[in-house]
Structure 1
């Protein structure tokens, strides 16, 4: 067994509270037995992390005996170097991941593999950056600057949504919007992007579409901006109407005059993060938003259960939102149980509770009255820095059009 991996596990078995004070990913452990011990520890509440409970969590695994846990606990000497050991552990994992990405790229030098390789290099380089010393000077200076210059609290979209979000979309926000199929979540994301760019043409919007191609998404933006029938855009040459052609041309001009980028070939988490990192790092404060449509289609390069993969996706999206102080909007489908109830719950988010845990804001998009397809409600169910509440929209799918209606808080 690797000595560093052993020391970390020995410390966790003796001082289980360390698992909460220091971020550790059990995937970093190369030894499957030690990885399973750490995963079991992280599943338990701190007061429940006895050797017996840890063993019970992993007893079906069969990779380790209870006596081995006792031996590991007894080998503990000190946790004085625990933080350094965890950092070294992370670095070794990142180096292995980099080597694997390099091998994959050599065998298949495609654009997606290059993006994964770039992400692996970035992860390794971040580990060597200066540690956060906890000082607040930078945050205080930023607040004082906002007070002195009357800077906006965030990126503006719909007015009533901005009010619920205490001023708009803000940096470090992971905003998850869950919806059942065919409610209009992609159309709503298009309208969010449209409102953002209408309020401030300098804002850059990266739109990752994993369900539709670039042409289909362009049609939706043109339909919204030019107020033309989206169905007619599927084959616009069939329409000889001069007025229609003029409106489409105006829509094209609108798209060209705004900083919208649409990606339809980047399906992997590493590629999405690479694009966000490249563009967000160059953007000015409050001038960048990323939209992912949708989480359930994002691919991850491992063979874990899907709920673990989704946990990695939301965790990485939240980390990059923090790192570059930008808002990230992620769409998500709801599980089938949600169809049995009119009232939606946070547990209805499909595939992983990490979506709820990692998101600053969680909202549901649904039709409060199935008989009236033109009314769609956005219900904010979690909001760390704002209010909970409902916003009703008038929705015309033909023109990809959302308009705010009444609101109840």
Structure 2
């Protein structure tokens, strides 16, 4: 058996808590038996990770017997090399991917194969980067350059939102937007992405949609960019007029010429983190944003209480925002209690399932309708903001066009 893979599994069987604090992709393993053991452990809560439960949980073809797992646990010596072993495992996997990509490119020197090869090189380079030494020199130089050049801070979106965020979306930011269903949180996220890419077409946006499919989300972006009725896109008639068809074509062209990626099959926390790591590693500074719609639908390994799972989700999203110096926008649902109050303005305590959302987020904002009679008025209320100001922004919202506009008459 592969020595590195063996040591990792021996360590995990003796210290199962490491599964929760270390990112390990089962695809990194070449030994099927060892991969199956790790996958089984990831599917169990910490207190459930007994040898018998792991054996029962395994998708076993009969090649692994219970005594094999007992033997692996008894082979444990020390966990001193665990972090280096995981890094080495990841690096070996990245090297295999690179070698495969090179062979494929030699045979088929096409654009897509070249992109895959570049991606594999970037992934391997990222693993080899020096670890954080705690020194501040690089951050000091960046600050001095920014002051000297007067370069604006952050990725721009809506003007008033940028002002409250002290310049825009910034690296290491976890920005959580909470709302009740049917208020328009997905439409607002579409508008944020639209504003970001319109103001800087070089910015890449990864949009993880866990509630809708790719086709539905594409229709929303076309509706917003081309100002066409989203309902007509959902059920197009045979007799659509030429003007409408031209507008839709313009919307499709907008999507094609901007760097938006939509994921509708990446449903797990591990999958989302993997995609963000891969794409953020290749992006230039201040040229990448990830949007998750929404936290409550993200799947997590194990059978913990949901509030513990949500805590893990927000913690990992914050860690990856820090690690890659990128802004991450996460949507969240609010408790039903806000609907029964006379004052409809949400509070931080209305965040559903976990207080960790408030704790881990740099910015927490709520999207709500202050007046049920006026469906076109929607407010964004920023109630936590580590780097900027608290405040409210009023929007005019026209649902069928997926259109949010800041009200000009409010300061």
TM-score (norm 2): 0.69
Match of 1:166 in 2: 166
- Structure 1 residues 374 and 314, CA, compared in 2 at 3 Å: closer, same or farther? same
* 8 A contact 1:178–1:331 mirrored in 2: yes
What SS does the corresponding residue of 2:154 show, helix, strand or coil?
Answer: coil
**1:329 matches 2:329:** yes
What SS does the corresponding residue of 1:281 show, helix, strand or coil?
Answer: helix
Match of 2:402 in 1: 400
* 8 A contact 1:296–1:310 mirrored in 2: yes
Match of 1:280 in 2: 280
Any idea what the Cα deviations from partners look like across 1:241-282, whole Å, max 9, x if unmatched? 000000000000010010010000000111111111111111
* 8 A contact 1:335–1:350 mirrored in 2: yes
* 8 A contact 1:28–1:90 mirrored in 2: no
Shift of 1:211: 0.3
Matches of 1:302 and 1:174, distance apart in 2: 24
Match of 1:371 in 2: 373
Match of 1:300 in 2: 300
RMSD, matched Cα: 3.0
What SS does the corresponding residue of 1:279 show, helix, strand or coil?
Answer: helix
Matches of 2:199 and 2:170, distance apart in 1: 15
What are structure 1's unaligned runs of at least 5 residues? Answer: 9-23, 37-86, 99-121
Any idea what the Cα deviations from partners look like across 1:312-367, whole Å, max 9, x if unmatched? 10011001100110100000000122222223111111111110000000000000
- Structure 1 residues 407 and 295, CA, compared in 2 at 3 Å: closer, same or farther? farther
What SS does the corresponding residue of 2:299 show, helix, strand or coil?
Answer: coil
What SS does the corresponding residue of 1:329 show, helix, strand or coil?
Answer: strand
TM-score (norm 1): 0.70
What SS does the corresponding residue of 2:230 show, helix, strand or coil?
Answer: coil
- Structure 1 residues 239 and 89, CA, compared in 2 at 3 Å: closer, same or farther? farther
- Structure 1 residues 314 and 407, CA, compared in 2 at 3 Å: closer, same or farther? farther
- Structure 1 residues 187 and 89, CA, compared in 2 at 3 Å: closer, same or farther? farther
Q: Which of these residues, 384, 388, 400, is aligned with residue 390 of structure 2? A: 388
**1:181 matches 2:177:** no
- Structure 1 residues 363 and 340, CA, compared in 2 at 3 Å: closer, same or farther? same
Shift of 1:28: 5.9
Match of 2:141 in 1: 141
Matches of 1:403 and 1:368, distance apart in 2: 16
Matches of 2:248 and 2:259, distance apart in 1: 18
Q: How does 1:55-70 map to 2 (within 5 A)?
A: none
What SS does the corresponding residue of 1:238 show, helix, strand or coil?
Answer: coil
Q: How does 1:263-274 map to 2 (within 5 A)?
A: 263-274=263-274
Shift of 1:144: 1.5
Matches of 1:354 and 1:408, distance apart in 2: 32
Matches of 1:333 and 1:368, distance apart in 2: 17
What SS does the corresponding residue of 1:183 show, helix, strand or coil?
Answer: coil
